[in-house]
Amino acid sequence: MTLLDGLWLVSALTALGAGLFGRSPATGPWLTVLYGVQFLLVALMGSLAYGAAPVPASVTFDILGQALSWRFTSLSWFFALITAGASLTAAWFMGGAWARAYEQRGGDLRLLQLALALNPVTMYVLLASGDFLSLFVGWELVSWASFLLMLSAGGVGVRWAMRYLVYAIGGAMAVMGAMVQAYAVTGSFAFGALAAAAPNLSAGALWSLVILLAGGFGVKMGLLPFHLWQAGAYAETPGPGSAFLGAISSRMGLFAMLLTLWGVLGFAVLQGLHVPWTPLEANELLAWVAAFTLVFPTFTALRQNDARWLLAWHGIGQGGYMLMGVAMGDALASAGGLMHVFNHATYQAALFMAVTAVVYRTGTADLNKLGGLVTRMPLSFLVLLVGIIGLAGLPPMNGFVSKWLIYRALIDEGQPLLFVAAVVGTLGTIVSVYKLLHNIFLGQLRVEHETVREVPWSMLSPMLVLSVVVFVTGLAPGLVLDWVASAQRELGLPVLVPTLGGVARPDGGLDMLWVVGLLFAGFGVGALIFLAGGRARTVHQLDNYAGGHFLSADVRYHYSDNFYAGLMHKIGTWYRGSFRWLQDAVVAATDFLAQGAVGIYRSIQPTAWLLGVAVLALWWVTA
Amino acid sequence: MMESILELILMPAVAFVVGLVMLLMMRKIAAKIQRRVGPPFFQPLYDVMKLFGKQTQISHGLIHDVGIIVAVGGYIAAETLIPVPGMNGIAERADVIALIYFLMVPSLGMALSAGQCANPNASIGISRALTAMLAYDIPFVIVIFGMAWVYGTTNLVEMVAYQQAHGWGLTEAPLLALAGLFALQGMLGKQPFEIYVAPAEIATGPMVEMSGKYLGSLIVMQCFSLYTAGILYTTLFLGGGVTWIDFLLKAFAVVAIPMTIAFQFPRYRAEQMLASLWKWPVLAGLLGLAVVMLT
């Protein structure tokens, strides 16, 4: 039995345990231990991250003469580590107080535990895919598992889960189309067969493969214009589920895209594929799709008034950075894109958990109904602060490093417009996440929240662990960049040679050890200067300058609604809802065609059918 | 080792002293334009000392204090990323892109601090400050991209070396220099882009709850920001400095331009600021970028 078999077995046992005993909140800690074992098993395969040979699964199948096989490679391991970490922290967060409260509110805990446990199992199957058939099997399993998790919320969540299902089926059809095409060309579902045939394929055939695979897997990633399902589906899932989905679920799309387009077809093929009537190649086209994906959803996030929705929209936008990085394909950019998968998972899980903690204590994620909670939930504030600095990509957190790598590469590659798009996305994120932090934790504390306490340690500890990871991998990005380098090597991309602190190069490198050290030294000096002043007296929040008015607790003066009034005055009219319009138009057109088909079926006389069939049959026989 | 530690201490210290003089210059320029005498030489220093020495210091909670420390500390650290004559600090280990993002840390600190005050006027001020950042940083990053392209590096030390060998960036990319100057006006929060600071009526800006050492720290932060803007522009476009004399002359000249322009203008509203900063400097920047990349 290989380690991969062991991982499958333990994760399946976790799901079984969740299904059998998940109803009782008391199983939470035990399940968390099982997730911990999964994490350990993935960690034991760590040599994969340093270039070891793939770990195969003992299970293989033969269906209709086609062999299905599974194995873990460096790339699989990188994504599996994130999956294991995300599921472990989500289950840990859920396992104690949160589960009890969820059950008391009437939530179906068994369904939630089962759905959460099924996600990592199916992802480990997908990540181990060794050919197109096993990839498709894994892909479908992952889709259904995440659908189940979205469904577990009930209520509004069901509507969003159904919308996801429609998109996911569409995506799977596209993937299947690509598989059929690959089979038609090579007569096999093996990756190697298509890889060997790819250089000889015509541009049309290659384009068809690229569009079907990128589009099909892009649905899961929430690439424009297939992104409309994601924010609602992730945001409306119960808290720990959102944290897991937001951290890693949609990245499975990126994994599959990397595996097929980069790994099988090869990056050189993408680079050689010219987009007609433009100066772009296929990889640059993907980078542009990524640019739009990172700008538009980010600015949609800016307009959200629900903390969970805001984060979910940012999750879509951040996927754009990952794709942009790998689509540029040089050593720095692809390392940045891949590292961003890891970084995003760490801070996004922490952010969703912090927001869930707030919901746990206050009962709402509405950004207009909170405020001032920093004095009541200081550690949750700290987690959210670390998380938003990571999400916004500011030093000293890990999100900065991955984005820096991408910016630096875009300068190397001479891509000014993509560079500006990437920076605009970052600026939009900074603006948006400050609103998130301000409206929840800063400003006026409401009367009804004066008795709120910090969440229990069962919820705090995974959040704090994730925050430490966000900080440490920002301080020493070389830890993650080593793993990324192995994945780059596997994908045939140029390999980045990192240092512990980042990248050393004479024409502009980055050493986070120095940067972070100096930043904290600066804070130290700043603190000394600040403390040199007289001793300050802390006053009550109502002891404020209010232009001659007296403030009292019953007056709500927290500035939260339409937070960026000036900005919206300028860009508010730019929000046209074009993608929603497009989606509605497609739905309407499908509806119209379906109605037409029903009408034909219902109204035409049987004699006319008979005549039609007879004419067709005659034509077929004589032709 | 000792030398580099000395550098890391000296660079922020020099920045503070020069920044104080720049602050004085700003007030003197305003006074000249408004036909006043203006403050005496040591007035900025007196102001800081007075504010730090006040007996009544009002805090609105821990984050109010921490935010101020982050704002000042972020700038202190940022000063070590920009090379000055004789001292490179850690400019070799963190390039100009890192610097741009470093410079957002103080803004975040100030935003945290003002947000914790629980005064809606402070929050409105911060919402405008972040809007302003979105406004001026877009043309600014176009300029950074252009200059990195011209010099073939993002390392500020190499940028200076290139210019001292081949001539100033100003002559190679005049349009980008112009766009950079325009963005500088927004970055310094000078009229017409001063709505977020709103210094003339403190009660409607982020500073409404800042008094004593809080306001004093913000003055210190302003000194750093003036100095940083001056030397960064000098490093990008004016060849850096061979000696401290020519370096500081250039930096003071750079900072004097936005100051002189500022006092001719009224204040723009937030959306007018966006319209103006997203139009002219972005156009000039993109045009300049096209020129340097296509020729």
More confident of the two residues A52 and A332: A332
* Minimum CA–CA partner of B90 in chain A: A514
Query: Looking at the partner chain, which of B118, B158, B195 has a beta carbon nearest the beta carbon of A372?
Result: B118
* Minimum CA–CA partner of B56 in chain A: A536
CA of B88, closest CA in chain A: separation in Å?
Answer: 13
Whether B117 and chain A come into contact, CB under 8 Å, resolves to: yes
* Model pLDDT, residue B266: 85
* Model pLDDT, residue B242: 87
Nearest alpha carbon to residue B236 among B290, B287, B183, B295 = B183
CA A118 – CA A114 distance, rounded (Å): 6
In the three-class reduction of DSSP (H, G, I as helix; E, B as strand; rest coil), residue A68 is classed as strand
CA A34 – CA A21 distance, rounded (Å): 13
Q: Which residues of B fall within a CB distance of 8 Å from A565?
A: 127, 270
Please name the residues in contact with A24: beta carbons below 8 A apart, sequence gap of 6 or more: A109
> How big is the CA angle at A421 (ends A419 and A425), to the nearest 5 degrees?
115
Does the pLDDT at position A366 exceed 80? yes
* Backbone region of residue A426 per phi and psi (left: phi > 0; alpha: psi in -120 to 50; beta: other values): alpha
CA B251 – CA B257 distance, rounded (Å): 10
Q: Which residues of B fall within a CB distance of 8 Å from A571?
A: 274
Q: Which residues of B fall within a CB distance of 8 Å from A372?
A: 118
- Residue pair A407/A330 in contact (Cβ under 8 Å)? The answer is no
CA of A137, closest CA in chain B: separation in Å?
Answer: 43
* Minimum CA–CA partner of B117 in chain A: A443
CA of A377, closest CA in chain B: separation in Å?
Answer: 13
CA of B6, closest CA in chain A: separation in Å?
Answer: 13
Mean residue pLDDT across chain B: 90
- Residue pair A292/A332 in contact (Cβ under 8 Å)? The answer is no
Query: Quick one: what percent of chain B has pLDDT higher than 70?
Result: 99
Does the pLDDT at position A595 exceed 70? yes
Does the pLDDT at position A334 exceed 90? yes
* Minimum CA–CA partner of A511 in chain B: B93
pLDDT band for position A33 (cuts 50, 70, 90): very high
Q: Which residues of B fall within a CB distance of 8 Å from A558?
A: 118, 120, 123
Question: Is 0.90 topped by the overall pTM?
Answer: yes
**Quick one: B10 exposed, middle or buried, by C-beta within 10 A (0-12, 13-18, 19+)?**
middle
- Residue pair A464/A379 in contact (Cβ under 8 Å)? The answer is yes
pLDDT band for position A187 (cuts 50, 70, 90): confident
CA of A548, closest CA in chain B: separation in Å?
Answer: 11
Does the pLDDT at position A121 exceed 90? yes
User: Is A427–B138 a contact, with Cβ atoms under 8 angstroms apart?
Assistant: yes
User: Is B119–A544 a contact, with Cβ atoms under 8 angstroms apart?
Assistant: yes
- Residue pair A358/A373 in contact (Cβ under 8 Å)? The answer is yes
* Minimum CA–CA partner of B94 in chain A: A510
Q: Per DSSP, which regions of chain B are E strands?
A: 58-59
* Model pLDDT, residue A166: 93
User: Is A509–B95 a contact, with Cβ atoms under 8 angstroms apart?
Assistant: yes
The DSSP output letter for A52 is P
CA A553 – CA A450 distance, rounded (Å): 11
* Model pLDDT, residue B202: 66
Residue A489, amino acid: R
Whether B68 and chain A come into contact, CB under 8 Å, resolves to: yes
* Minimum CA–CA partner of B120 in chain A: A559
Residue A123 tokens read as 């992802």
Does the pLDDT at position B233 exceed 80? yes
Q: Where are the alpha helices (DSSP H) in A448-506?
A: 457-475, 478-491
> How big is the CA angle at B79 (ends B292 and B205), to the nearest 5 degrees?
90
**Quick one: B136 exposed, middle or buried, by C-beta within 10 A (0-12, 13-18, 19+)?**
buried
**What's the Cα-to-Cα distance from B163 to each of B100, B239, B291, rounded to whole Å?**
21, 5, 18
Residue A450, amino acid: E
pLDDT digits (tens, 9 = 90+) for B111-131: 999 999 888 888 988 999 999
Query: Quick one: what percent of chain A has pLDDT higher than 90?
Result: 70
User: What's the whole-number mean pLDDT along residues A495-514?
Assistant: 89
Phi then psi for A128, rounded to 5 degrees?
-90, 5
User: Is B127–A394 a contact, with Cβ atoms under 8 angstroms apart?
Assistant: no
**What's the Cα-to-Cα distance from B220 to each of B16, B39, B231, B274, rounded to whole Å?**
7, 17, 17, 27
Mean residue pLDDT across chain A: 91
* Minimum CA–CA partner of A521 in chain B: B77
* Model pLDDT, residue A536: 87
More confident of the two residues B92 and B155: B155
- Residue pair B98/A510 in contact (Cβ under 8 Å)? The answer is yes
Whether B50 and chain A come into contact, CB under 8 Å, resolves to: no
* Minimum CA–CA partner of A568 in chain B: B271
Whether B84 and chain A come into contact, CB under 8 Å, resolves to: no
| ipTM score assigned to the predicted complex | 0.95
Query: Looking at the partner chain, which of A427, A434, A506 has a beta carbon nearest the beta carbon of B111?
Result: A434
- Residue pair A561/A370 in contact (Cβ under 8 Å)? The answer is no
Find residues 149-208 of chain B whose CB sits inside 8 Å of chain A: 149, 152-155, 158, 195, 203, 208
CA A135 – CA A139 distance, rounded (Å): 6
| Half-sphere exposure in the Cβ direction for B115 (13 Å, CA) | 30
> How big is the CA angle at B56 (ends B51 and B60), to the nearest 5 degrees?
95
Q: Which residues of B fall within a CB distance of 8 Å from A524?
A: 73
User: What's the whole-number mean pLDDT along residues A317-333?
Assistant: 93
CA B207 – CA B187 distance, rounded (Å): 17
Does the pLDDT at position B200 exceed 80? no
Give me the sign of the Cα torsion angle B234, B237, B243, B249.
Answer: negative
- Total residue count of chain A as it appears in this document: 623
pLDDT digits (tens, 9 = 90+) for A381-439: 999 999 999 999 998 999 999 999 999 999 998 899 999 999 999 999 999 999 999 99
Whether A414 and chain B come into contact, CB under 8 Å, resolves to: yes
* Minimum CA–CA partner of B161 in chain A: A507
CA A423 – CA B104 distance, rounded (Å): 13
Residue B254 tokens read as 């750079």
Does the pLDDT at position B198 exceed 80? no
* Minimum CA–CA partner of B52 in chain A: A533
More confident of the two residues A378 and B206: A378
Whether the upstream peptide bond of residue B192 has omega within 30° of 0, thus cis, is yes
Nearest alpha carbon to residue A498 among A514, A509, A490 = A509
CA torsion angle A524 A530 A535 A540 (round to 10): -100
- Residue pair B138/A423 in contact (Cβ under 8 Å)? The answer is yes
CA torsion angle B174 B175 B176 B181 (round to 10): 90
Whether the upstream peptide bond of residue A378 has omega within 30° of 0, thus cis, is no
Q: Tell which of A373, A375, A530, A535 to mutate to test the B interface (max B CBs under 10 Å).
A: A530
CA A315 – CA A301 distance, rounded (Å): 9
- Residue pair B163/B171 in contact (Cβ under 8 Å)? The answer is no
Q: Which residues of A fall within a CB distance of 8 Å from B270?
A: 565-567, 569-570
Query: Looking at the partner chain, which of A389, A419, A525 has a beta carbon nearest the beta carbon of B73?
Result: A525
- Residue pair A507/A412 in contact (Cβ under 8 Å)? The answer is no
Q: Which residues of A fall within a CB distance of 8 Å from B63?
A: 374, 381, 442
* Model pLDDT, residue B121: 87
In the three-class reduction of DSSP (H, G, I as helix; E, B as strand; rest coil), residue A61 is classed as strand
Give Cα A523 to chain centroid, integer Å.
33
> How big is the CA angle at A589 (ends A588 and A592), to the nearest 5 degrees?
85
pLDDT band for position A604 (cuts 50, 70, 90): low
CA A83 – CA A346 distance, rounded (Å): 11
Q: Tell which of B127, B215, B228 to mutate to test the A interface (max A CBs under 10 Å).
A: B127
Q: Per DSSP, which regions of A149-255 are E strands?
A: none
* Minimum CA–CA partner of B204 in chain A: A547
Q: Where are the alpha helices (DSSP H) in A47-131?
A: 74-95, 97-104, 109-127
Whether A393 and chain B come into contact, CB under 8 Å, resolves to: yes
Whether A374 and chain B come into contact, CB under 8 Å, resolves to: yes
Whether B209 and chain A come into contact, CB under 8 Å, resolves to: yes
Orientation of helix A512-532 relative to helix A457-475, angle to 10°: 110
Q: Which residues of B fall within a CB distance of 8 Å from A442?
A: 63, 112, 115-116, 118, 123
**Quick one: A540 exposed, middle or buried, by C-beta within 10 A (0-12, 13-18, 19+)?**
exposed
pLDDT band for position B180 (cuts 50, 70, 90): very high
User: Is B94–A420 a contact, with Cβ atoms under 8 angstroms apart?
Assistant: no
User: What's the whole-number mean pLDDT along residues B223-231?
Assistant: 94
**What's the Cα-to-Cα distance from A536 to each of B60, B222, B288, rounded to whole Å?**
9, 22, 50
> How big is the CA angle at B112 (ends B11 and A457), to the nearest 5 degrees?
115
Query: Looking at the partner chain, which of A530, A565, A566 has a beta carbon nearest the beta carbon of B69?
Result: A530
Does the pLDDT at position A100 exceed 90? yes
A and B: number of Cβ contacts within 8 A: 261
CA A157 – CA A312 distance, rounded (Å): 14
CA B85 – CA A299 distance, rounded (Å): 42
pLDDT digits (tens, 9 = 90+) for A202-211: 989 999 999 9
User: What's the whole-number mean pLDDT along residues B189-208?
Assistant: 79
Supply the Cα-derived Rg of chain B in whole angstroms: 19
pLDDT digits (tens, 9 = 90+) for B243-275: 999 999 999 999 999 999 988 888 888 889 999
Nearest alpha carbon to residue B235 among B88, B23, B133 = B88
* Model pLDDT, residue B179: 94
Whether A427 and chain B come into contact, CB under 8 Å, resolves to: yes
Q: Which residues of A fall within a CB distance of 8 Å from B104?
A: 394, 430
Does the pLDDT at position A623 exceed 80? no
CA A77 – CA A46 distance, rounded (Å): 8
* Minimum CA–CA partner of A438 in chain B: B115
Whether B283 and chain A come into contact, CB under 8 Å, resolves to: no
Give Cα A61 to chain centroid, integer Å.
31
The CA-based diameter of chain A, rounded to the nearest angstrom, is 103
The DSSP line for B9-54 is HHHHHHHHHHHHHHHHHHHHHHHHHTT-----TTHHHHHHHHHHH-
Residue A547 tokens read as 């232009």
pLDDT digits (tens, 9 = 90+) for A214-261: 999 999 999 988 999 999 999 999 989 999 999 999 999 999 999 999
SS3 sequence, A533-554?
CCCCEECCCCCCCCCCCCCCCC
In the three-class reduction of DSSP (H, G, I as helix; E, B as strand; rest coil), residue A67 is classed as strand
CA A121 – CA A144 distance, rounded (Å): 12
Please name the residues in contact with B40: beta carbons below 8 A apart, sequence gap of 6 or more: none
User: What's the whole-number mean pLDDT along residues A457-483?
Assistant: 95
User: Is B102–A567 a contact, with Cβ atoms under 8 angstroms apart?
Assistant: no
Whether A474 and chain B come into contact, CB under 8 Å, resolves to: no
